[in-house]
Amino acid sequence: CMNYMLPLSYAWGNFSVLAVGIWATVQRDSLDAITMFLTGLLLTVLTDIIHICIFYPSHDFLSDAKRFSIGMAIFNLLLKPVSSYLVYRMYRERGGE
């Protein structure tokens, strides 16, 4: 997000899911918060794939900073299924069906 290679919608989507995740962590009795967090995580997996595919620069314009930035975005995308599974387990512990 700090390299401005990806659009602002990428940053807004991930930061809003992070804010909902903080809300879901603080309110341990809320099933709605954890549901919104899980839905947001799964939705951002799809939007992250679209953002990375559309805005990936060509090899001529790929500096070291952009390469690091896109590498961290891909690493974040690879960790989201693990995070989604852990959030799903929290959802089941809170009484979700």
pTM of the model: 0.84
The pLDDT assigned to 56 comes to: 83
Percent of the chain scored above 70 by pLDDT? 97
| pLDDT, tens digit (0-9, with 9 covering 90-100), for 27-56 | 988 899 999 999 999 999 999 999 989 988
Q: How far apart are the first and last CA of the chain?
A: 35
How far apart, in whole angstroms, are the C-alpha atoms of residue 33 and residue 85? 16
Q: What is the pLDDT of residues 75-87, one digit of tens each?
A: 999 999 999 999 9
- Domain ranges (residues) in the chain: 29-95
**Higher-pLDDT residue of 53, 1:** 53
CA 6 to chain centre: 14
Report CA torsion sign: 34, 36, 39, 44.
negative
